[in-house]
Amino acid sequence: MSRISQAHSIEDLRRRARIRLPRGVFDFFDGGAEDENTLAANRRAFENVRLLPHVLRNVADPDLSAQIIGMRAAAPFVVAPMGAAGIGWPGADVAIARAASRLGIPYVLSTAATASIERIASEAGGRLWFQLYVLRDLAFTEALMARAAAAGYEALVLTLDMAVGGKRERDIRNGFTVPLAPRWRTAADFMTHPMWCLRMLRHGQPSFENLQGFAGSSHAGTSIVARAAQSLDPSFDWGALQRIRDKWPGRLLVKGVCRADDADRLATLGLDGLWVSNHGGRQLDGSVASAEALPDVVHAVRGRMPVLIDSGIRRGVDVVKALALGAQAVGIGRAALYGVAAAGQAGAERALMILSEELRRAMQLCGTPTIGDIDAQLLQVQPARQRS
C-alpha cells in the first residue's frame, strides 16, 4: 500500500501537507482573514446540518454523475480556482487539472495560477473553466478572456468578492511573501523542510504565467502579482458585468455571491450560473458562511440558473448537504490543495477519490441512489424559504 493511500480523509491530507510544507506556505494555503471567524463558520455550517435518511431504497450501485452547467460530469464536483498553488508543489496546477480530468469533472484555472491558460489546455485537457479577477486595466482583462476563449475554455468564472484583498494575518506574522524570500524570519522554516527546498531549487520559483506582460512588465514574477492585487477594480458594477457578458462567447458564471437580492438581480442578466462563496473565509471576516447563505440564494434564483457553492467542503456528506440545500455542484478548493501539497498529482487524485468514495457511501446511507434523489426532503429542518 502506497503511503498516500493511507490518507483516509481530507484532514489526513491536511496533516501531511502541514508536515511537508514550511509554516509560511502552509498557513498561506490554510489560513483566512483576520480572526478567521468566517473560515471556522464555513465548517460549522455544514456540521450543523442534519439529515433524515430514507430506508428501503435500492442503493446497491449509486450513480454519482450530475449535470453541471448544462453538461454531464462524473460527480457533482468542480475544482475551484486556487492561486499560487505551485509554491506548495512544482507544477501543482497541472497536477490538479489532470486529476480533475481523470475523474471527469470541471477544473477552474485561477488568474493567479502558476500555469498558463494555454499550458493547462495542452497538458491537462478535460472540462476547463477560467476564473477572472477584474482589473482596472481593461485591455489586459479582455486579453485574458480572449486567450481563454481561444484555448477552448468552456466557461468564464468572474470573481465578484474581491474589490480589495483581505487582511490575512497569518501571512503578515510569518513574513510570508511571494516570491519566497529566505529572510531571517523564514530561512529556518525553509531549511527544516529539506525535501520542499530541494523541489524548489530543482524546479525554480513558480511564475504567474497568466500575468506576463501585466503593467508593462516583460517577466512573470510576483512583483506582477503584487501590482495585479493593487490593481483590482473596486468600481466594477452592474454595467461592467453586462459588458463582460456581452464580450464573453461562452458560459458565464459569477462567484462570490451571498445575498438573495443580488442573486435575484443577477438571474436577469443572462448568466449561466451563480456561485455562492465567501472566498473560503479569506476575504471579509464576519461574512455569512456559504452553507448558511445558500438556501436564500437558491430561493431567490427560482430555478433560472444553476447555483454552485464552495467554502468548507471537507467530507462527502458535506456534498450531500449542499445538494439538499439546493446547489447543483460544489467547489473543491483546499481539499485538492492539501492533496497536491502532500504528494503531487497522486495526492490531488487521492483527495478527489476520498470525497467521491465518501459521497458514494453517504448516498447509500441516505437512501439516495442518484444525485437527483438528493433534495430538501433529506434535511431534518428544511430552510424556511423552501418550506413556504
Q: Which residues are catalytic?
A: 279
Beta-carbon-side half-sphere exposure of residue 185 (alpha carbons within 13 Å): 11
CB atoms within 10 A of CB 115: 25
Asked whether 117 and 105 are in contact (CB, 8 A), the reply is no
Position 209, amino acid: E
Q: Which H helix or E strand runs over 140? A: helix 138-150
- Backbone φ and ψ of 167, nearest 5°: -95, 100
Annotated binding site for glyoxylate: 133, 168, 279, 282
**Distance between CA 199 and CA 87 in Å, rounded?**
10
**Distance between CA 226 and CA 230 in Å, rounded?**
6
**Distance between CA 168 and CA 310 in Å, rounded?**
19
- Backbone φ and ψ of 89, nearest 5°: -155, 130
Annotated binding site for FMN: 81-83, 110, 131, 159, 255, 277, 310-314, 333-334
Position 15, amino acid: R
Q: Which three cell numbers stand for residue 274?
A: 451563480
**Distance between CA 97 and CA 74 in Å, rounded?**
15
Annotated binding site: 81-83, 110, 131, 133, 159, 168, 255, 277, 279, 282, 310-314, 333-334
Q: Residue 197 contacts by C-beta under 8 Å, 6 or more apart in sequence?
A: 190, 191
Which of these, 1, 93, 2, 65, lies nearest to 336 by C-alpha position?
93
Angstrom distances, CA of residue 274 to CA of 65, 159, 296? 20, 10, 13
